[in-house]
Amino acid sequence: MSRMEASDAAIIEVATGQPVEEHALVHALVPVRFRLLGEIHDDPKHHAIRARLVAEIAARGVRPAVVFEQFDLDHDAALVEAQRHGLDAEALADAGRLDRMAWSWPLHEPIVAAALGAHLPIRAGNLSRREIAVLTASPGGAKPHEWAWSARLRAATWTNAQERALRDDIVQGHCNMLPANVVPRLVEGERMRDAAIAQALVDAATADGAILIAGDGHVRANLGVPVYLHAPGLPGADAQSISVGFVEAEAHELGDADARARLIAEHPGFDYLVVTPPIARPDPCAEFRK
């Protein structure tokens, strides 16, 4: 693989705090069973880089499943059937009932196309918003023990500190404007979603494992999917996973070891950080203020 252009991205290996080239990241990802690739949803560079990573992993001769947060589990069977007919990325998005507006399609199209081009199975990983609403409704909501992923929710190690960290992340992500009574339901829903994605990874994995395409919050090892993927005593618990966060930062934030250490501290839970320049976007809190 060619060296990444400076304008494309920089990659930091968290364990050493050192920059590495893209081929080193691919080399690390190939042999592990679960490869979790994050994103900032609206950054096109993140999708383009992950499409390249998917293609490069496949080029090394492995054939993992590619599990997408963007497809709901309700439509997984339709995705599998569609791939039997050789559909392209656009048609596959239709078959999987992708919410094109919510996910700003075609931002994810390069990743879907890369997986299809490499003949990797594409699978759904997410609980639908409707299902989350039912599961977190009180009283009278459906109980999570009715689903396979609920065993991961129960078995996972989860501390008060993790609960506070996830709560604070959700509150800050909603511009500190959430009603207090809503926050516990959102925390519960996020944990259910992560447990379901973890189960989807285990279920979809081929002999060469799986790749997860999801937001950074889902792939971080301290609070997201890996908490449930490695839940003690369950399938996949002892398999190796690597979490790759995709973040935005200016070039000066990567210039020396201290700057990289600060960036790592600001984005905990990852084994690697792929860092791209910030993109221009509207104030995300403007709608909340209205």
Those residues whose C-beta lies under 8 Å from the C-beta of residue 249, and which sit 6 or more positions away, are: 263, 275, 277, 278
Lowest mean pLDDT among 169-173, 188-192, 280-284: 280-284
Confidence of residue 139 (pLDDT cuts 50, 70, 90): low
CATH topology for 10-289 is Rossmann fold (3.40.50)
The backbone torsions φ and ψ at residue 215, rounded to the nearest 5 degrees and listed phi first, read -70, 160
Report the distance separating Cα 102 and Cα 86, nearest Å.
26
Residue the block writes with tokens 């609980």: 127
Quickly count: other Cβ atoms within 10 Å of residue 106's Cβ: 16
The CA angle 72-236-132, to the nearest 5 degrees, is 30
Q: Which is higher by pLDDT, 274 or 138? A: 274
Strand partners, 275: 10, 247
Per DSSP bridges, beta strands 241-248 and 34-37 are parallel
Confidence of residue 146 (pLDDT cuts 50, 70, 90): confident
Lowest mean pLDDT among 28-37, 118-127, 218-227, 279-288: 279-288
DSSP 264-279: HHHS-S-SEEEEEPPP
Quickly count: other Cβ atoms within 10 Å of residue 142's Cβ: 12
Q: Which is higher by pLDDT, 284 or 146? A: 284
Give me the pLDDT at residue 143, please.
Answer: 61
Amino acid residing at 17: G
Residue 176 pLDDT greater than 80, yes or no:
yes
Report the distance separating Cα 170 and Cα 186, nearest Å.
8
pLDDT, averaged across the chain: 93
Contact 8, 271 (CB under 8 A): no
DSSP 42-93: T-HHHHHHHHHHHHHHHHTT---EEEEEEEEGGGHHHHHHHHHTT--HHHHH
Cα 182 to chain centroid, rounded: 24
- What one-character DSSP code corresponds to residue 206? B
Residue 3 pLDDT greater than 50, yes or no:
no
Q: Which is higher by pLDDT, 106 or 132? A: 106
Percentage above 90 pLDDT, the chain: 84
Domain range list for the chain:
10-289
The backbone torsions φ and ψ at residue 60, rounded to the nearest 5 degrees and listed phi first, read -85, 0
pTM: 0.94
Give me the pLDDT at residue 8, please.
Answer: 79
Report the distance separating Cα 13 and Cα 20, nearest Å.
7
Per residue in 38-82, pLDDT tens? 999 999 999 999 999 999 999 999 999 999 999 999 999 999 999
Residue 260 pLDDT greater than 90, yes or no:
yes
Per residue in 200-250, pLDDT tens? 999 999 999 999 999 999 999 999 999 999 999 999 999 999 999 999 999
